[in-house]
Chain A
């Protein structure tokens, strides 16, 4: 059974079909990229999977259970982790507390009124931070961190509930090329260790082509291609929507790396 299976997913905004009969699947342990030009419907699709938007129609099966229309926190509780396009942490907490928060929630302890939270799950939080290379920063206020580091914290938070599926919306947005690769390498290592499936959207093609096991391409709300890196590179329709014709991804990846 696929970890995630999407069938005929549709969503319209004021008559515009942002996502139209989209269907795809993520297999266990798979690192799946979803790409497409701006306005292709990636974010809409993503937000329906993570529960921020309710689909007009279609099914989203997570481990066989339809999660379409559920709220984000329920989906998270089922075992789906996520990171945000613009990193969001709890600014008034330390790095470790940010991770502890997720652990507390995972343990269903947030309504506890008595035990001091500072010491709860701290070891586990430090352990997670260790794994994303942020152990040193554990007691710093999270708002003081550099952007790349915040992304790592988010990753630690996302791993806190031992998800089977990780949704990452543009995980490397706003990062330099080196940082970008480091982060995705880290993600890949961590999810492979845990056999977590990943669905991510990404703008930088270098990352996509270097790391994704499989790529699906969205354009005007529909899936126009689905395959491995080589297949996508050679797909005429993909080239069409991205560049008109003439250009190739080979050029684009080098540009992406330089920017």
Chain B
């Protein structure tokens, strides 16, 4: 690679960086003020591209393109305001992260709405009027539009910077980012502030999406790609820091451009294709940055936000009624194999639900009592699944041994990653776990010779008698019940108490001799290990596994299950997993627009049960008891 090629790739990187910056900056602002992790941010970005496409093609010309971009930004901003007013405002008091569930539902709904409105085909917009050509730089042609983007990113950064520094609104945003409670104390109308920030964030996402219309086609997969990029940039830059977001965007874009520029390098004994590294480059950058700087490049430790949600109830041993219910459910499940003849699918669905239960319960173990929001729990599911499957593939070990090894592989991974993760907290911890999961995913994806690459491992079927679904179901049930009871036992043991102590008040916990990080680390490892059981079971249930097993989608499914059931209850993840897995199975065959339907159902659930399903029942139950006791006195 010559010096001029290198410099030119750096220019390419800068124009990509502007794009990344636009996706990320709005998310950063929104999170800074409202503490909402807005998964639908990528959807707003995608809408930006689609709407701008319509302006550019329906009206056309200079007005349609440039005017359309501005109009799009305003429209998407308005949509953002609407989302905040109609939906999010109703659930600010819900437990932490619950808003994530609502925005996840929005992703599903918006994606299907876009499909319905614009159709399935990729829509490539026209070139930008006036900026369609290229200019000669370093003996190469740089598209004029890229040059424009190189400048427009920093321009928006400067405008935002001054707006935040010089205006009252800006000062409020900065104050709220640092200390949300203070703003309430200053007598600021919080709901107006939240709505405006959400609208501003959405507007920037819309603008970013609209500006891409001249570079890439409007595509229905953009939403998830964009949100992934946005999270990484925001976290690397430091939550709430817009300059940090730009800096992070530049670093990530440059690293990628460099990887692409280097291309294939022959080291003599091995030749490495660096362009393949772009698959995971941003996550490598994120992991390195977070390990070195726990709050991102320009982020600052945030004042601990006292949750405005109802705090959690003390855990109590199962009441006789709950025990009776559990025994009944178990008895019913044990009867399921009797139906194997008449409705065999029930058992297959049952196996999937039980695997989801183990997955969600293990995630809840660290998310609820541990207070560690893992966004990368799929890593341990995947390690378990691959651990088992690869043992079968390469060493031909029997299923029993492979299933026993699955949690050990996952445990090893969780011990390694957890050691770094527990040094962080809050959303940074969440993102570091995500980064680790993506790194595992990429390793599995790339290491074709060993893991089968994108095809995965094929032909991992259980031997007789487990090839009969009812036998495998009973095995899964046995392991699921063991896993759930084991985790429950741990939570009621001193270790579980210590984990909650570390979550409730790390300072106090340390002051009574608890090594919070160590406790959380071990908790993380235990959850990872149990999750590995689910992965192992999954591999044999499906007969094949692929990198999707470790994908972001599975991690998000886990979050949804835990939140849906109720993060503050111990039975929540069981109910959440069962409901979500069954719903998904049912909804997927109901309608062509199943995603929108699933999203709508989750939205309904979110509004009806702001504490999750079990959380809501528990609250009703408590209320009933209080009323009864008051009536009696």
Contact = CB atoms under 8 A, between A and B. Distances in A.
Do A and B touch, yes or no (CB under 8 Å, in the complex)? yes
Interface of A: 50, 52, 71-74, 76-77, 82, 84, 88-94, 97, 100-102, 104-106, 109-118, 120, 141, 143, 157, 160-161
Contact of A105 (B311, B315, B500, B514): B514
Given A118-B317, A141-B313, A90 B501 contact: yes
Nearest to A141: B314
B511 A92 contact: no
A101 B493 contact: no
B219 to A, nearest CB: 45
Nearest to B495: A113
A118 B504 contact: no
B492 interface: yes
A40 to B, nearest CB: 23
B20 interface: no
Given A111-B494, A112-B495, A113-B489, 15 more contacts: A52-B507, A73-B510, A73-B515, A84-B508, A88-B505, A89-B505, A90-B508, A91-B311, A93-B497, A101-B512, A105-B513, A112-B493, A116-B492, A117-B492, A141-B314
B279 to A, nearest CB: 39
A113 B312 contact: no
Nearest to A94: B314
Contacts of B510: 71-73
B497 A97 contact: yes
A156 to B, nearest CB: 11
- Minimum-distance CB pairs A-B, first 7: A88-B508, A90-B504, A110-B498, A92-B312, A105-B513, A102-B512, A88-B505
A100 B315 CA distance: 14
Contacts of A120: 494
A111 B489 CA distance: 13
B492 A110 contact: no
Most buried by A among B494, B497, B498, B522: B494
A134 to B, nearest CB: 16
A111 B505 contact: no
13 contacts: A72-B510, A84-B507, A89-B508, A91-B312, A91-B505, A92-B312, A92-B500, A105-B498, A111-B494, A113-B490, A117-B492, A117-B493, A157-B508
A118 B492 contact: yes
Contacts of B489: 113-114
B585 to A, nearest CB: 34
A50 B507 CA distance: 11
B379 interface: no
Given A91-B504, A92-B315, A93-B501, A157 B496 contact: no
Interface of B: 311-315, 317, 489-490, 492-498, 500-501, 503-505, 507-515, 519, 522
Contacts of A118: 317, 492
Contacts of A111: 494-495, 498, 519, 522
Contacts of A106: 512-513
A90 B500 contact: yes
A137 to B, nearest CB: 13
Contacts of B493: 112-117
Contact of B317 (A72, A90, A92, A116): A116
Contacts of A109: 494
B523 to A, nearest CB: 11
A110 B504 CA distance: 16
Contact of B513 (A84, A93, A100, A161): A161
Contact of A92 (B314, B494, B514): B314
Contacts of B497: 93, 97, 100-101, 104, 110, 117
Contacts of B490: 113
Nearest to A93: B314
Contacts of B495: 110-113
Contacts of B513: 73-74, 76-77, 102, 105-106, 161
Given A101-B498, A111-B494, A117-B493, A93 B504 contact: yes
A110 B509 CA distance: 11
B538 to A, nearest CB: 26
A110 B511 CA distance: 14
A131 B452 CA distance: 66
A89 B311 CA distance: 13
B614 to A, nearest CB: 16
A115 B504 contact: no
Most buried by B among A52, A104, A141: A104
A62 to B, nearest CB: 15
A106 B312 CA distance: 26
A72 B494 CA distance: 20
A161 B512 CA distance: 8
Contact of B511 (A73, A100, A104): A73
A143 B306 CA distance: 13
Contacts of A113: 489-490, 493, 495
Nearest to B486: A113
B48 to A, nearest CB: 42
A98 B554 CA distance: 36
A120 B495 CA distance: 12
A143 B504 CA distance: 11
B258 to A, nearest CB: 37
A93 B495 CA distance: 14
A120 B512 CA distance: 17
Contacts of B508: 84, 88-90, 157
A150 to B, nearest CB: 11
Contacts of A114: 489, 493
Contacts of B317: 116, 118
A77 to B, nearest CB: 5
Given A117-B494, A120-B494, A161-B513, A143 B507 contact: no
Contacts of B519: 110-111
Contacts of B505: 88-91
B100 to A, nearest CB: 21
A171 to B, nearest CB: 14
B512 A160 contact: yes
A214 B531 CA distance: 58
B314 A97 contact: yes
Contacts of B503: 92
